[in-house]
């Protein structure tokens, strides 16, 4: 599988921030996964999944930002999915899945903005040329 060049064209910076996430595919399969983030930004999240979710699938998300507030609950859309290389010993045959937030409320958007800016200040930004494979 080739690298997806769209990873470098983000409107929002991404940071390494491990959060627990519950994602539910709203499609025919209606799969539910408990997973974690690879990285997160105000515009969306990269998740690691054991099963592929089709591009443009609508999903619901519940993200635990590991702060004292309620989990972020919103809808999203799968905008890319890449199967990891079988040579990756840590997570073989998993998928990195990019989900764009669709209806993030203003309060949760501000929480994410604060977290992202704080982590960027401390050098946790995902490099622009970072690939998911």
pLDDT tens-place string over residues 22-72: 999 887 677 899 999 999 999 999 999 988 999 999 999 999 998 889 999
Token pair for 47: 């998740």
Instruction: Return mean pLDDT, the chain.
Output: 84
Residue 1's H or E segment, with its range, is: none
Model pTM? 0.82
Domain residue ranges of the chain, discontinuous segments joined by + = 11-121
b/e sequence 19-51, b meaning 16+ C-beta within 10 Å: bebebebeeeeeeebebebbbbbbbbbbbbbee
For the domain covering 11-121, report its CATH number: 2.40.10.220
């Amino acid at each position: 599988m080739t690298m997806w060049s769209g990873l470098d064209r983000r409107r929002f910076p991404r940071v390494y921030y491990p959060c627990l996430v519950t994602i539910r595919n709203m499609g025919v399969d209606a799969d539910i996964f408990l997973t974690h983030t690879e990285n997160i930004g105000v515009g969306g999240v990269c998740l690691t999944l054991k099963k592929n979710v089709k591009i443009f699938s609508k999903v619901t998300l519940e993200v635990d930002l590991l702060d004292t507030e309620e989990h972020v609950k919103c809808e999203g859309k799968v905008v890319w999915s890449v199967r990891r290389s079988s040579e990756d010993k840590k997570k073989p045959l998993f998928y990195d899945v990019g989900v764009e937030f669709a209806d993030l409320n203003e309060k949760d958007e501000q929480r994410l903005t604060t977290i992202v800016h704080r982590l960027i200040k401390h050098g946790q930004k995902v490099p622009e040329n970072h690939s998911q494979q």
